[in-house]
Amino acid sequence: MRQRFQPRVTVAAVIERNGRFLLIEEETSDGLRLNNPAGHLDPGEAPAEGCARETLEETAHRFTPTALVGVYLSRSERPSGEDVTYIRFAYCGDLGALEPDRPLDTGIVRTLWLTAQEIRDSAGRHRSPLVVRCVEDYLAGRRYPLSAVYCDSSVYSPPVGINRL
């Protein structure tokens, strides 16, 4: 029997300030990699909410998405040989102040601000080819309203028969 296709949904923030972009450096199974602040969408949250949460967890900055930069598909093979497809929702928005006492998420080594050219030049260290693509789309002015991603109210309620903890 053929296995059902189940892409993984991720969210990412494209944050620019004074010509530099906020990235994170993180430990992965492939070693240290650069990424946009990003992560998996959690149950019970809309993509923009997940993006704000992941940005806070990975950078210790509050983030308010104001526009969708794009929706992306990518595919990779994990070290285990697993074939994984990702759907990424990338947002730009307003970065809040740093919360200096907030610890960064497990695996995050540091945050750094890089120019677009520095990001292009470091492509071999990117966690995904989508890192640079999201930045390029942002620079090209791609912006879609947050309403372009509809989130039904059922997302916020567990299915019938599922108990909340």
Model pLDDT for residues 83-114, shown as the tens digit of each residue: 889 999 999 999 999 999 999 999 999 999 99
Domain that holds residue 84: 8-154
Is 161 contained in some domain?
A: no
CA distance 125 to 135: 15
Residue at 108 is within a domain: yes
Does any domain span residue 159?
no
144 within some domain:
yes
Alpha-carbon Rg for the chain in angstroms:
16
- For residue 5, is pLDDT > 90? no
Whether the full predicted model's pTM is greater than 0.85, yes or no, is yes
Q: Percent of the chain scored above 70 by pLDDT?
A: 96
Is residue 3 in a domain? no
User: In what side-by-side order are the strands of the sheet with 38-40?
Assistant: 38-40, 8-14, 83-98, 61-77
**Average of per-residue pLDDT across 146-154:** 95
- Tell me: pLDDT of 81 over 60: yes
Look up the CATH number of the domain holding residue 119: 3.90.79.10
Backbone angles phi, psi at 79, to 5 degrees: -55, -30
Query: How, if at all, do strands 8-14 and 16-17 pair?
Result: unpaired
Place 165 in a pLDDT band, splitting at 50, 70 and 90: low
Domain count, the chain: 1
Q: Which of 136-142's residues contact partners 24+ apart within 8 Å by CB, and which partners?
A: 137/14, 137/69, 137/70, 137/90, 138/14, 138/16, 138/69, 138/90, 138/92, 142/69, 142/70
* pLDDT tens track for 41-64: 999 999 999 999 999 999 999 999
Residue 164 lies in a domain: no
Is position 160 within any domain? no
Whether 13 is in a domain gets the answer: yes
Place of tokens 């497809």: 85
